[in-house]
Amino acid sequence: MKKNIRSALCLLLVSAVFWGGAAGGVPARAAKEAGTEYIVKYKESAEGIMNTDGRVPFDVVSEEEMERLRQAGLLAWYEPNGEAILLDADPEAACYDEAQWNLDVIHAEGAFRQGHLGQGVLVGVIDSGIAPHPALEANLLPGHNYMENAADPDETGDSYGHGTRVAGLIAAADDGGYIGAAPGAKLVPLKVTDGSSVSISTVCEAIYGGIDDYECNILNLSLGITRDYESIREAVAYAEERGVVVVAAVGNDGDAALYYPAAYDTVIGAGSVDKDGLISSGSNHNESVFVTAPGVAVRTTAASGGYTTGTGTSFSVPQAAAAAAVLRGIDGALTPEDIRTLIAGSAEDRGEEGYDVYYGHGILDLAGCVSALMAEKKESDRCSFLPEEGAATELRNNTDETVRCAYFLTEYDESGRCVKVTVRPYELAPGETAAIEAPADGAGFGQFVCEADTMIPLTAARKTL
């Protein structure tokens, strides 16, 4: 029985061989089950003899049959039938160590595999500071110490340890893989305490500072207040107005007590589940619970430089904040309401059907958030600029398909005269980000991306002087 492999020959050099069906005619004897096999190509003069029905006459035959055909002068060439391998770097390997069970619970790998890591998103951590841990250093930015009478406002280290544990669950990564759920995000330490308590005014100052001075996209507040303070309410409302997502803890009393700011409608209140997806005994249950995430002995970074675990809704919060960062990293135009809708709509429903005061909308599903967002994106959103505001320095493919496009940059002076035009072609794999030439400082500019074949606009940014 002959095997036609016209289409398989090209694949042999790339991945794996898939064989076609029988060709019929006067057969070259089938390859032996054991021993060396040969791929052979017949001379054009032999096509009629072999009766290949117009197909390109490739065959796989035994070494003995190859020799017979060669001696008969019927072969254009022949070669041993080797093996190809799929060029995947250990396809079964996870993106993180098995100790990061919490990332399994929230289905983080589904987002990681697509390259959605929260790149370019700034997460403000309003906490006890962040220690310079090796797994955090690549993502740690300068921040501010808002503590009253702080000797050095630039000193944002963490002697208490809470903030470093929170930060690790957002954006830590080491040689063992990802630890945080948004390992491409940047961390801005907004230090408010050296202990377990902090004044309301200091928290408010950090919220405003994180928004206005550090341009954070997400604010992580792994803390809570049992009273509804007007100052906190206004600060959270300001964050919503400025497009900043706020995530906060619902409390660890195991009862229905409300904690603020989690109890505000515009805040993502995070409750806690264990390794089996069951509500933690200490996680508060009330209408402030928007979503739940792992919060029982989750492994994270320690201020000492090693690793430790964290238990409590404090450590559920950073995983929800990381999900918001991943979504904002895909589409910088998403509003806080958009992000809340995506998280709620994709959460894994537990407890009573639909929303309930224990699980909220369900257990956080990072892969589900990403899938829901990608399904919603319009054709015009196939590419986006990073950063989203001001002069862009990167271009991102937001789809799950390769995009061929062209980048156009025009620069002009105060009189409106064009002083420079740049055109560059790009081919971006799914989720890929590429550096682009940015306009000169102070220049007026237009940045445009069009589909290469059709010149349909994909994204644009402009600045006038």
Q: Same structural domain for residues 387 and 366? A: no
Angle between helices 162-171 and 317-330 (to 10 degrees): 40
Q: Same structural domain for residues 239 and 345? A: yes
Q: pTM (2 decimals)?
A: 0.66
- Count of domains for the chain: 3
Q: Same structural domain for residues 427 and 333? A: no
Q: Same structural domain for residues 258 and 317? A: yes
Q: Same structural domain for residues 437 and 458? A: yes
pLDDT in tens, the chain (465 residues): 333 322 222 222 222 222 222 233 333 333 334 467 888 888 877 655 554 444 445 678 888 988 988 898 888 888 887 655 333 334 344 577 788 999 999 999 988 888 889 998 999 999 999 999 999 999 999 999 999 889 999 999 999 999 999 999 999 998 888 899 999 999 999 999 998 889 999 999 999 999 999 999 999 999 999 999 999 999 999 999 999 999 999 999 999 999 999 999 999 999 999 999 999 999 999 999 999 999 999 999 999 999 999 999 999 999 999 999 999 998 888 999 999 999 999 999 999 999 999 999 999 999 999 988 877 765 456 788 888 777 889 999 988 889 999 998 888 777 667 788 888 999 999 889 999 988 888 788 888 888 887 777 787 776 655
What span, in angstroms and rounded, lies between the C-alpha atoms of 284 and 134?
A: 34
Among candidate residues 352, 376, 400, the one where a domain is terminated: 376
Domain-embedded: residue 93: no
Q: Same structural domain for residues 214 and 255? A: yes
Q: Same structural domain for residues 113 and 197? A: yes
Q: Same structural domain for residues 134 and 165? A: yes
What is the largest distance, in Å, between two alpha-carbon atoms of the chain? 96
Q: Same structural domain for residues 137 and 278? A: yes
CA distances from 32 to 18, 69, 259 (A): 18, 15, 74
Among candidate residues 347, 376, 405, the one where a domain is terminated: 376
Q: Same structural domain for residues 347 and 387? A: no
Domain-embedded: residue 219: yes
The identity of residue 239, as a single letter, is A
> What is the per-residue pLDDT for 391?
83
Question: Among all chains, which residue has been given the structure tokens 């991306």?
Answer: 449
Which domain CATH number covers 140? 3.40.50.200
What span, in angstroms and rounded, lies between the C-alpha atoms of 209 and 401?
A: 39
**Secondary structure of the chain as H, E, C letters:** CCCCCHHHHHHHCCCCCCCCCCCCCCCCCECCCCCCEEEEEECHHHHHHHCCCCCCCEEEEEHHHHHHHHHCCCEEEEEECCCCCCCCCCCCCCCCCCCCHHHHHCCHHHHHCCCCCCCCCEEEEEECCCCCCCCCCCCECCCEECCCCCCCCCCCCCCCCHHHHHHHHHHCEECCEECCCCCCCEEEEEECCCCCCCCHHHHHHHHHHHHHCCCCCEEEECCCECCCCHHHHHHHHHHHHCCCEEEEECCCCCCCCCCECCCCCCEEEEEEECCCCCECCCCCCCCCCCEEEECCCEEEECCCCCEEEECCHHHCHHHHHHHHHHHHHHCCCCCHHHHHHHHHHHCECCCCCCCECCCECCECCHHHHHHHHHHHCCHHHCEEEECCCCCCCEEEECCCCCEEEEEEEEEECCCCCEEEEEEEEEEECCCCEEECCCCCCCCEEEEEEEECCCCCEEEEEEECC
The identity of residue 208, as a single letter, is Y
Domain-embedded: residue 89: no
Among candidate residues 28, 51, 80, the one where a domain is terminated: 80
Domain-embedded: residue 96: no
Q: Same structural domain for residues 309 and 335? A: yes
Residue span of the structural domain in which 40 resides: 6-80
Q: Same structural domain for residues 361 and 418? A: no
Domain-embedded: residue 241: yes
Cα torsion angle, 154, 160, 166, 168, sign? positive
- Residue 38: closest CA among 68, 7, 73: 68
What span, in angstroms and rounded, lies between the C-alpha atoms of 261 and 263?
A: 5
What span, in angstroms and rounded, lies between the C-alpha atoms of 222 and 163?
A: 9
Which domain CATH number covers 397? 2.60.40.10
Tokens (6 digits) for 423: 């055109």
> What is the per-residue pLDDT for 115?
83
Domain-embedded: residue 419: yes
Domain-embedded: residue 86: no
> What is the per-residue pLDDT for 196?
86
Cis ω on the peptide bond leading into residue 387 (within 30° of 0)? Answer: yes
Domain-embedded: residue 92: no
Strands 37-42 and 58-62: antiparallel
